[in-house]
């Protein structure tokens, strides 16, 4: 039979809790990113509807500009990130 001292038992429990937290964080992050990729919060149709409700007739260029500004990989945001570094 394996016998542990109380401090060894506590260390093992703490290590297991930390490992579990890290694994859970990684899995949750991947699932969240997949969900955002599959179901983006704003689509081009939603942008067009929003602009129409504001009384504007959006052109394709305006819709693309709004979508690009919301996309983290868009041209505007990458220029800003380079300036901040």
How far apart are alpha carbons 15 and 11 in whole angstroms? 6
> CB–CB of 51/58 below 8 Å?
yes
DSSP three-state, residue 39? coil
The pLDDT value given to residue 22: 98
Residue 41: pLDDT band with limits 50, 70, 90: confident
pLDDT tens figures, 63-84: 888 888 887 665 554 455 555 5
Where do we find the tokens 């504001």? Answer: 54
The pLDDT value given to residue 77: 46
pTM: 0.53
DSSP three-state, residue 56? coil
| Radius of gyration in angstroms for the set of CA atoms belonging to the chain, rounded to a whole number | 24
Average pLDDT of every residue of the chain? 84
């Amino acid at each position: 039979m394996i016998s542990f001292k109380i401090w060894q038992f506590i260390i093992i429990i703490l290590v297991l809790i930390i490992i579990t937290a890290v694994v859970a964080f990684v899995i949750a992050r991947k699932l969240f990113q997949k969900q955002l990729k599959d179901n983006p919060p704003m689509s081009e149709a939603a942008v067009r509807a929003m602009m129409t409700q504001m009384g504007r007739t959006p052109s394709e260029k305006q819709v693309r500009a709004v979508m690009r500004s919301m996309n983290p990989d868009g041209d505007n945001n990458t220029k800003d990130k380079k300036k901040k570094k």
